[in-house]
Chain A
């Protein structure tokens, strides 16, 4: 069912700080890319699922959760799902690492 994705190289592991998001623009689409303390990488559309919107990249990362910077919603980085009591979902994109290069599928 999933539409075919194109994969883009998005820099090296060391370009990303642990637990701090970074904005990556691929083909005009703005993503927030996160590196967890365990060196897992996640990519979300840099758009807060909160009705007022806003960015995600500046949130606080804890494990594979993100606390968004504007409204403190807790979001699962793996699925984009907003945790109760709030509701919503951020769009996630697949990331894989080859050597020390990050690849993101759009």
Chain B
């Protein structure tokens, strides 16, 4: 079955080689593939080792392709197997353990090794490089046993290693030969700012020091410098550079300079043998960064798959430091000479620095410190050698006026070629992102991330991915302004509601059948939404569909990640009684509740109730449901008010409890919170509630659209009323208007912004007739609601099907 396929052997199971293979598979290249790797792991993301060291990720997190991936793609993988040479005569790859593999094509992607300084003592125990998982593990281990560490090398890798060791609790000194850190990427100004920032974070520096010897017996105990001074260290990381790993090529008689010499199609001097990544030398350059690997890999993959491709002409390298809280970026040329025109801005207070270098008005390089939001844009401009224009200047340097650059940024994404790599960490091209959006109907960066891997690693490309998303969705907006409420339909919320009314549709199933849903029974997004719209339109006739409710609403309790539930009884206006508290305490003890917590909305969470106990807890509490799980009125937060407070001018507790009793149990597009304050001191925090009410001498001021959640928003002042009756009428009208016009899952904060405050005001305040009609409609809907806990307790078969386990032996 596989006999007539060509055999492709990859030497080196790293990012560059496997990235190339991935591309070949995508392009449909027809090969029997064998991979040799010397490390005992599947392919992992080397540039994320800094995160492993930092402790924010473990080795499993940075695996790019797990064992299954090789299996699924029919790739033979030999881990822990170093290749010794390629025999061009017999076309065989030969490994040290005697294993051989026939080939038609070979890719050498053996990467590079840490360059270990050839000084006395460098072979001692406690001296490592920073290249692979083993180094990383050595560092984690050392941090447990020793205190003083030195990192030789103030470049990218050295600084990341140093910060990692500081995080692990070590006393770390970075030893650097030059006076400036990262002198191959940063100018003096940026380097000084970087040093100051890292010192703030606890890294020490010994600048301008040349290490001549590592002292100690078996184990290293310190460093001696050329000026005769010494530094104590029981652990030393050498991060002075990398050395292309060319052993296999050399042993196979392939031309090697600093790296394995390749042409513009990554072909080495031996026929049918190619090389990509850090081991390769192209036009005299060896690259030690990630983006070039993917660019080379793309060209080679196309070449080997028989697809047309432009030759590889070298990469413009850019740098970003992966240390949390330190944003540095550079691309292209960064040291200014007299022939450069320099645009720069330094802000010592905000600790930011921005520099762009022009040569004959062409953008040839840039350095950013502190604020790197423009990095992706600048990288592209440098790569393209774009001419500086007023527009670009305004875009990158800012003009002092907000919002002006938005449209132009999108345009620059538009002109980006499809094969340009957007995510350097994972080698994701613009085309891959655009395809993912178009094929799957994605609307968020997270979806793109899960599908393509873009933004999954360092996250530096997120702004560009966002821009691409905007551009793809925005451009197709004419056709796909009709993106529909989910992937199952192209209809918008308003269209669905109109169709339900016009056609008299009564169940989600009917809606989906009649309106031509793509997935017959909908999904977890549209089923709950349609169920809500039906209930809103027919409050008396619609039979609520439990199977279309999210778990929390179906069970009338909040699910926790371990499958237990949280039960929250009602406490009108946040007021309870000693008797109720006693009952809550008794039930909590009896059913072994894990935690009793006061919520942000002034009531009590009983957390960790076993699923089968939930109905018993309800029964024994014998209190109404607090709807902590629902898209419904959650709580009405109150202050003490005029009943007890010396400042209170209004009875906030009384009015709060009254409102909570009136509006409880009704479904809303999203959860709904209120607050009532007795005076303008606003102790119950009206400004972050869907409806916030503030008492003053002689009446109430009503605020709407506040939110303290994911998208915080301060509520807008809506109107002032004199009496409690007017207050209720206004609240009723606002709530019903929101019920009728809100998108499912849309909080009032978003709703107010979408509709505009003026429209809501004119619908409710300027139109008394409509206001009264809205209030009547909500009263009618309210007359239909029941307490779900009581209802469930009276419905034996549903309760048992939902909550009880069937035990079978």
Whether A11 lies near B555 (C-beta < 8 A) is no
> Which single member of B450, B611, B807 contacts A25 (CB below 8 Å)?
B807
A63–B522 alpha-carbon span in the complex (Å): 8
Q: Is A92 an interface residue (CB 8 A)?
A: no
A61–B521 alpha-carbon span in the complex (Å): 8
Within 8 A of B (CB), among A33-73: 37, 52-55, 58-63, 65, 67, 69-70, 72
Whether A22 lies near B559 (C-beta < 8 A) is no
Residues of A within 8 A of B611 (CB): 23
Residues of A within 8 A of B440 (CB): 85
Q: Is A20 an interface residue (CB 8 A)?
A: yes
Whether A20 lies near B451 (C-beta < 8 A) is no
Q: A16-B801, A20-B546, A58-B554 are in contact. Are A26 and B523 (CB under 8 A)?
A: no
Whether B521 lies near A62 (C-beta < 8 A) is yes
A26–B528 alpha-carbon span in the complex (Å): 32
Q: A58-B559, A72-B524 are in contact. Are A8 and B808 (CB under 8 A)?
A: yes
- Chain A interface size, under 10 / 10 to 19 / 20 to 34 / 35 or more: 35 or more
Q: Is B200 an interface residue (CB 8 A)?
A: no
Task: Name the residue on B nearest A30 (C-beta).
Answer: B805
Q: Is B548 an interface residue (CB 8 A)?
A: yes
Residues of A within 8 A of B551 (CB): 58-60, 69
> Which single member of B547, B550, B808 contacts A18 (CB below 8 Å)?
B547
A20–B802 alpha-carbon span in the complex (Å): 8
Residues of A within 8 A of B801 (CB): 15-17, 20, 22
Residues of B within 8 A of A13 (CB): none
Whether A15 lies near B451 (C-beta < 8 A) is no
Whether B547 lies near A61 (C-beta < 8 A) is yes
Q: Is A84 an interface residue (CB 8 A)?
A: yes
Tell me the smallest distance from the CB of B92 to a CB of chain A, in Å.
Answer: 36
Q: Is B762 an interface residue (CB 8 A)?
A: no
Q: Is B390 an interface residue (CB 8 A)?
A: no
Whether A52 lies near B561 (C-beta < 8 A) is yes
A86–B551 alpha-carbon span in the complex (Å): 21
Residues of B within 8 A of A15 (CB): 801, 806
Whether A67 lies near B523 (C-beta < 8 A) is yes
Residues of B within 8 A of A26 (CB): 808-809
Whether B808 lies near A25 (C-beta < 8 A) is yes
Q: Mark B516-559, 1 if CB is under 8 A from A, else 0.
A: 00011111100110000000000000000011101100110001
Residues of B within 8 A of A23 (CB): 611, 804-806
Whether A62 lies near B806 (C-beta < 8 A) is no
Whether B519 lies near A62 (C-beta < 8 A) is yes
Q: Mark B432-455, 1 if CB is under 8 A from A, else 0.
A: 000000001000000100110000
Whether A27 lies near B809 (C-beta < 8 A) is yes
A45–B406 alpha-carbon span in the complex (Å): 49
Q: Is A9 an interface residue (CB 8 A)?
A: yes
Within 8 A of A (CB), among B406-461: 440, 447, 450-451
Whether A20 lies near B520 (C-beta < 8 A) is no
Whether A70 lies near B547 (C-beta < 8 A) is no
Whether A60 lies near B562 (C-beta < 8 A) is no
A30–B804 alpha-carbon span in the complex (Å): 12
Tell me the smallest distance from the CB of B209 to a CB of chain A, in Å.
Answer: 45
A63–B802 alpha-carbon span in the complex (Å): 20
Quick one: which of B519, B804, B808, B809 has the most chain A CB within 10 A? B808
Residues of B within 8 A of A70 (CB): 559, 561
Task: Name the residue on A nearest B526 (C-beta).
Answer: A62
Tell me the smallest distance from the CB of A15 to a CB of chain B, in Å.
Answer: 7
Whether A63 lies near B546 (C-beta < 8 A) is no
A65–B528 alpha-carbon span in the complex (Å): 16
Whether A54 lies near B450 (C-beta < 8 A) is no
Q: Is B798 an interface residue (CB 8 A)?
A: yes
Whether A17 lies near B521 (C-beta < 8 A) is no
A8–B808 alpha-carbon span in the complex (Å): 8
Task: Name the residue on B nearest A27 (C-beta).
Answer: B809
Tell me the smallest distance from the CB of B132 to a CB of chain A, in Å.
Answer: 25
A10–B805 alpha-carbon span in the complex (Å): 11
> Which single member of A25, A61, A69, A74 contacts B806 (CB below 8 Å)?
A25
Whether A54 lies near B547 (C-beta < 8 A) is no
Whether B559 lies near A69 (C-beta < 8 A) is yes
Tell me the smallest distance from the CB of A16 to a CB of chain B, in Å.
Answer: 7
Q: Is B208 an interface residue (CB 8 A)?
A: no
Whether A24 lies near B561 (C-beta < 8 A) is no
A74–B509 alpha-carbon span in the complex (Å): 20
A18–B563 alpha-carbon span in the complex (Å): 21
Q: A20-B801, A62-B521 are in contact. Are A10 and B808 (CB under 8 A)?
A: yes
A8–B546 alpha-carbon span in the complex (Å): 28
A53–B561 alpha-carbon span in the complex (Å): 8
Whether B561 lies near A54 (C-beta < 8 A) is yes
Q: A17-B546, A62-B523, A84-B451 are in contact. Are A54 and B808 (CB under 8 A)?
A: no
Q: A24-B808, A60-B548, A67-B524 are in contact. Are A17 and B798 (CB under 8 A)?
A: yes
Residues of A within 8 A of B447 (CB): 85
Question: A23-B805, A72-B524 known; 13 other A-B pairs, CB under 8 Å?
Answer: A20-B546, A20-B554, A20-B802, A24-B808, A25-B808, A52-B561, A60-B528, A61-B521, A63-B519, A63-B520, A67-B523, A69-B559, A84-B451
21 sample A-B contacts, Cβ–Cβ < 8 Å, listed by A number: A17-B546, A17-B802, A19-B547, A22-B806, A23-B804, A23-B805, A55-B559, A58-B551, A58-B554, A58-B555, A59-B551, A60-B523, A60-B550, A61-B547, A65-B519, A67-B524, A69-B559, A70-B559, A74-B523, A85-B447, A85-B450
Binding site for B on A (CB under 8 A): 8-11, 15-20, 22-27, 30, 37, 52-55, 58-63, 65, 67, 69-70, 72, 74, 84-86
**Top 10 nearest A-B pairs by Cβ distance?**
A67-B524, A85-B450, A19-B547, A58-B551, A55-B563, A69-B551, A85-B451, A62-B521, A24-B806, A23-B805
